[in-house]
Amino acid sequence: MTNPHRTFPKDFLWGSATASYQIEGAVDEDGRTPSIWDTYCRTPGMVLNGDTGDVADDHYHRWPEDVALIKGLGLQAYRFSLAWPRIQPGGSGAFNPKGVAFYSRLVDALLEAGVQPVTTLYHWDLPQELEDAGGWTNRETALRFADYAEHVAGKLGDRISVWTTLNEPWCSAFLGYGSGVHAPGVRSSLAALQAAHHLNLGHGLAGRAIRSVLGESTQLSVTLNLHVTRPVDPDSEADRDAVRQLDAVANRVFLGPMLDGAYPADLLADTASVTDWSFVKDGDEATAAVPLSVLGINYYSTSRAQRWTREAPKLQADGHADSDVSPWVGADDIEFLPQPGPYTAMGWNIDPSGMLELLTDIGTRYPDLPLMVTENGAAFYDEVSADGEVHDADRVSYLHGHINAVGEAIDAGIDVRGYFLWSLLDNFEWSWGYDRRFGIIRVDYDTLQRTVKDSGRWYSELIRTRQLPPLDATSQVLDAGMVG
Ligand code: FCB
């Protein structure tokens, strides 16, 4: 039940998130070279409407305005990512002072605005030259990633509140190299597992490099999109085993090495027909288990799975784009059933109970590790009303339900330290281009003008008061709100 005026702890951190390729534009300015997403966008048929990140939100030039908006909304923290090909064009060798200078100015402006910078080193824009040498299927990429991490740690240093190595390595490995619906568009089960391992290794090496520069007390994190999958029939052993298998290949493939220092035995057994995992070298798993200060969790929706009996065509309603190669490596006999609605514009079901379940599950598995929700939010087909505003009541309702679920997890004793709303701005939503809008600030892609949506004003009031009012009080909140 919704607490009528749920109050959040004083030190709970409220923020919003973006990623470099999704907002920056300026893809060939000041020494930046192409990333795998630049290449992927130029491959016909890969991105809806042929959209690219060439201009995106033009944040590279408009960042002072964006920092002013962040400050105006009262955000306490801003999660953004660094574009590796800006900082180290080509991914190895010389660093580009102009690339670092861009982020250095941004960080200084955030600090001046009283906003904590929370930085992600890798939110999917791998330098194309590294991909040409095998990308994340090549062990060498993990070593290059650590060099890059060490360099930026030295440059941005203790101005960063939390250093996050990777964003959603599951997507990088299994959508990027497995089903190929993300850059670099490789479709191979073996490549997906190799990439997953080298991402784990890269995380550990980069985390250790950051700590070597900035000291042991540096706040170190990784962001995972952990999947909440439920059995179609909870009484069926076969369905429960399907969920166990998906938990291994979606969640424990990262949680295992990163937090426990070992891949789970059931994962190795389930994927034995694909690989013997001989690309895992002695000591890799221990390296991946660099101690973390906080675990970032991204949550959007849930899924339902069961063993496929082969009596009817396999259902693949897993929320990811279609491909002839499944991202679910080793799980060919598992199917995903469509979920009951309501849905967002992504076709993802809206289910705040999944947020509570996930935080409770991970908080119970790892009781000593603080958690932070590093992404949560919703795409809707927003419209600009006659009054020039965006009255996105559907987004407010989504946020209300999910933030309430975060509060329920805290009530249940789970150590959740903060919440970052995805996203600050409408932006380039990967394979869906500009068609799907997640922002609490609207971006007009013709003029690049920014307009704070109702959801932005509502979130701002929540941060100011630390109180989540009942949903039906939203219009009063918006009328009373200070931000417009
Ligand atoms: C996550 C990504 C983020 C954004 C949201 C909607 O998977 O980390 O960049 O696209 O989904």
Q: What is the pLDDT of residue 322?
A: 87
What's the Cα-to-Cα distance from 165 to each of 130, 168, 248, 366, 469, rounded to whole Å?
18, 10, 21, 19, 35
- Catalytic residue of the set 24, 129, 131, 168: 168
- Pairwise CA distance, residues 399 & 378, whole Å: 8
Q: Which residues contact 329 (CB under 8 A, 6 or more apart)?
A: 174, 178, 189, 192, 193, 249, 271, 274
User: Looking at ligand 1, which atom is closest to the CA of residue 171?
Assistant: 7
Q: Is the CB of 19 under 6 A from ligand 1?
A: yes
Dist. CA 373 → ligand 1 center (Å): 13
Q: What is the pLDDT of residue 478?
A: 74
| 375 catalytically annotated | yes
- Pairwise CA distance, residues 374 & 421, whole Å: 7
Q: Which residues contact 258 (CB under 8 A, 6 or more apart)?
A: 200, 203, 204, 222, 288, 289, 290, 292
Contact 28, 98 (CB under 8 A): no
What's the Cα-to-Cα distance from 412 to each of 263, 296, 333, 371, 407, rounded to whole Å?
29, 19, 36, 14, 9
Q: Is the CB of 426 under 6 A from ligand 1?
A: no
Residues lower than pLDDT 50 in the chain: 2, 482-484
- Pairwise CA distance, residues 359 & 228, whole Å: 10
Dist. CA 167 → ligand 1 center (Å): 9
Q: What is the pLDDT of residue 483?
A: 47
- Pairwise CA distance, residues 32 & 87, whole Å: 7
Contact 99, 122 (CB under 8 A): no
pLDDT tens readout for residues 201-252: 999 999 999 999 999 999 999 999 999 999 999 999 999 999 999 999 999 9
pLDDT tens readout for residues 12-62: 999 999 999 999 999 999 999 999 999 999 999 999 999 999 999 999 999
pTM: 0.97
Q: Hey, how many other C-beta atoms are within 10 angstroms of the C-beta on 208?
A: 16
pLDDT tens readout for residues 338-356: 999 999 999 999 999 999 9
The DSSP letter of residue 127 is B
Per-position DSSP letters for 358-380, written without gaps between them: HHHHHHHHSTTS-EEEEE-----
Dist. CA 319 → ligand 1 center (Å): 12
The DSSP letter of residue 314 is P
Dist. CA 237 → ligand 1 center (Å): 33
Q: Which residues contact 338 (CB under 8 A, 6 or more apart)?
A: 315, 317
The protein residue with its alpha carbon nearest to ligand 1, atom 9, reads: 19
The protein residue with its alpha carbon nearest to ligand 1, atom 2, reads: 168
